[in-house]
A and B are shown apart, each in its own frame.
Chain A
Amino acid sequence: MDYVLTTDSLSKHYKHFKALDRLTMHVPKGAIYGFIGKNGAGKTTLIRLICGLQQCTSGGYRLYGTKDTDKEISRCRRRMGAVVETPSIYPDMSAEDNIREQYRILGLPSFDDIPDLLMLVGLEGTGKKKAKNFSLGMRQRLGIAVALAGSPDFLVLDEPVNGLDPQGIIEIRELILKLNRERQITVLISSHILDELSRLATHYGFIDRGCMVKEISAQELDAACRKCTRMEVTDINVLTRMLDHMHLEYQVLSDTGADIFSAVDITALVLALAEERCSVSAIHQHDETLESYYISLLGGNRYE
């Protein structure tokens, strides 16, 4: 698999505080990578490192296969755009002037495609209105437009929907999906709004206290979160034999438990198990969401 970004035991310490602790992650090309963790878990620190705003204490990362210590990393960064924490825009300039400024920084010879960029982010009608008079959603979209100047193929968004109203959240979501599907831009989004991420992400990375807890694709997560009937029995061998006999899809969890994914006639199954002297100690419907997966992965009330 081609990766846009990989990190290898990446660490960042602020004096004695370990913001990132040997973090390893893989962002596949073309993915929308949801980077999940509570406040202070190290999401923004990672983004600052890969954007070149800060230097890592140990370990390293590769951007398009180029090591962070390689001189060519500066050239690679031109292929990425980012909005870190707040949109990086000049409040006394209009949307168009802000993008023009970024075009100059990038050394782009023509401003001809600025109207298209403004239209893409839905700011085509803002005229000479200064960015300081924009709504939060408009500022966020302008920040994304600035990040998109130079047509990057990797976009890094740090908490892009924080503080937005529902309409703003929908607009940003649609924009991200559009960029990913129509322009094949790989997107790394950090967020703790899990419901929103679950509508976008194709891959997830769960970070806690600076460490990567788990990386999982949306497909794998869907499989893990499938609606199922979870059974606890005294003899797992009898249960699996019965399930095979009934042609039911299942997954063994332990010596006493299994998830059954197909619709199951509970009465018939329990009676069949009873005939084989296998008792059912528990049975319940299991329907996990990203949120419950996150809680079960990172552990209960210690987390958001």
Chain B
Amino acid sequence: MNRLLCANFARLKKDRVFWLGMLFMAGYGAFIMFGNYMDSIRYGKKFYIDDAFFSYAIIVGITSAVFCCLFLGTEYSEGTIRNKLMVGHTRGRIYLADLIVCTAAGLLMTLAFLITAAGIGIPLFGFFHTKPETVLAILSGTLIMVIAFTSVFTFLSMMIQNKAVAAVTVVMTVFILLFTAIYLFSALNSPEMYEGYSYTDDDGNVVEQEAHPNPAYVSGTKRKVYEALMDILPTGQSLQYSSMSAVHLWQLPVYSVIITIVTTGAGIIVFRQKDIK
């Protein structure tokens, strides 16, 4: 497998999409920090680095998706995966080597954001106000989430031999998962009760409106299912990490590890049986 990793990383070093991803994530880190700095000056509002530092958790899912499907899709579209199979490398090793290089690329793109955002954000806004252990937990959680993301994208990219179809499927998947998570996040954050309020009507009478239940409030089993989905879906995790609102902070990496193991196991089993053209 060392030989495959050596070849994959040599290719990664020269991959244009990877460097564009690195540049994008670094640029995004700078944009977020400078943008918030300008807003804090314009509106005179105190800004903490904590407020936006983990926003990469959402974006890295999309950049990893684009990278994975193009990097691995090339292996099929140009037939270069045959060069690995024909010289006797086992399919399991080929799959794992591809997963490792995609994961490394995802983590490096995350690192590009972190270095830029921290390099600009800490001098501008100071260090984190949240407890260091919470920051570390979120940071390590996002890194494990990136592994879950890349394992899902590697699975899809290795299953679909047509590069264009793989690209559309992977990007559609990440957006569907993201919109699902946004919907769940929004539903879970809607208030249980609308607060009471009073107002003066056209005749000068003070009308008092009492607090009343929100019909869209999700409760009972449905709420538990929504919460579980938010914790399990990598995009759900990314929303929770980016807004630093994760309730089950220590459970999320466990779900990410389970997703990684399940998708990789299934991927290797299916890839072993797959007819390569």
Please report A residues at the B interface, Cβ cutoff 8 Å: 48, 51-55, 73-78, 80-82, 84-93, 97, 100-102, 104-107, 146, 150
Q: Chain A's nearest CB lies how many Å from the CB of B8?
A: 9
**Which 10 A-B pairs have CB atoms at the shortest separation, nearest pair first?**
A74-B88, A104-B7, A107-B3, A88-B79, A53-B276, A77-B88, A54-B275, A105-B7, A51-B86, A104-B6
Tell me the nearest residue of chain A to B77, going by C-beta: A91
The answer to whether A91 touches B78 (Cβ under 8 A) is yes
Could you say which of B3, B6, B11, B82 contacts A84, with CB atoms under 8 Å apart? Answer: B82
Q: Tell me whether A92 and B79 are in contact (CB under 8 A).
A: no
In the complex, the chain B residue whose C-beta lies closest to that of A73 is B88
Contact B7 A54 (CB under 8 A): no
Which chain B residues in 64-89 approach chain A with CB under 8 Å? 74, 78-89
A75 to B88, Cβ gap below 8 A? Answer: yes
Q: Which residues of B contact A82 (CB under 8 A)?
A: 82, 86
Query: Size range of the interface on B?
Result: 20 to 34
A-side contacts of B273, CB under 8 Å: 55
Q: Tell me if B14 counts as interface (CB < 8 A to partner A).
A: yes
Asked whether, in the complex, the Cβ of B89 is within 8 Å of the Cβ of A53, the reply is no
Q: Evaluate contact between A48 and B16: CB separation under 8 angstroms.
A: no
Partner of A90, one of B11, B82, B86, B88: B11
Docked-complex contact B78 and A90, CB < 8 angstroms? yes
The answer, yes or no, to whether B206 is at the interface (CB within 8 Å) is no
Please, how many angstroms separate the alpha-carbon atoms of A243 and B88 in the complex? Answer: 58
In angstroms, Cα B4 to Cα A104, docked, is 7
**When the two chains form their complex, are residues A92 and B16 in contact, meaning their CB atoms are under 8 A apart?**
yes
Neighbour of B84 across the interface among A73, A75, A105, CB < 8 A:
A105
Q: Which residue from chain B places its CB closest to the CB of A146 in the assembled complex?
A: B83
A sample of 27 inter-chain contacts (CB < 8 A) reads: A51-B82, A51-B86, A52-B86, A53-B85, A53-B275, A55-B273, A55-B275, A73-B88, A74-B90, A76-B88, A77-B86, A81-B86, A84-B79, A88-B78, A88-B79, A88-B82, A88-B83, A90-B78, A90-B80, A91-B78, A92-B14, A100-B10, A105-B3, A105-B4, A105-B89, A107-B2, A107-B6
Which chain A positions have C-beta within 8 A of B3? 104-107
- Of A75, A93, A106, most B-chain CB atoms within 10 Å: A106
A-side contacts of B6, CB under 8 Å: 104, 107
Query: Do A101 and B85 touch (CB < 8 A)?
Result: no
Q: Known pairs A52-B88, A105-B3, A106-B87. 20 more at Cβ < 8 A?
A: A48-B277, A51-B85, A51-B86, A53-B85, A53-B86, A53-B275, A53-B277, A55-B273, A74-B89, A75-B88, A85-B79, A85-B277, A88-B79, A90-B74, A92-B16, A104-B6, A105-B83, A105-B89, A106-B3, A107-B6
Give bound CA distance, A88 to B3, whole Å: 18
Q: CA separation between A150 and B3, bound complex, in Å?
A: 14
List the B residue with the shortest CB-CB distance to A45. B275
Residue of A nearest to B272 (CB): A55
- Report Cα–Cα, A77/B84, bound state, in Å: 11
Contacts of B275 in A (CB 8 A): 48, 53-55
Q: Considering the complex, which residues of chain B in the window 10-41 have a beta carbon less than 8 Å from any beta carbon of chain A?
A: 10-11, 14, 16
| C-alpha spacing A136/B2, complex, angstroms | 33
- Interface pair B88/A78, CB less than 8 Å apart: yes
Shortest Cβ distance from A72 into chain B, in angstroms?
A: 10
Q: Whose C-beta in chain B lies nearest to the C-beta of A50? A: B86
Q: How far is the CB of A220 from chain B (nearest CB, A)?
A: 31
**A110 CB to nearest chain B CB (Å):** 14
The residue of chain B having its C-beta at the shortest distance from the C-beta of A103 within the complex is B7
Residue from B79, B81, B82, B86 with most neighbouring chain A CB atoms (10 Å):
B86
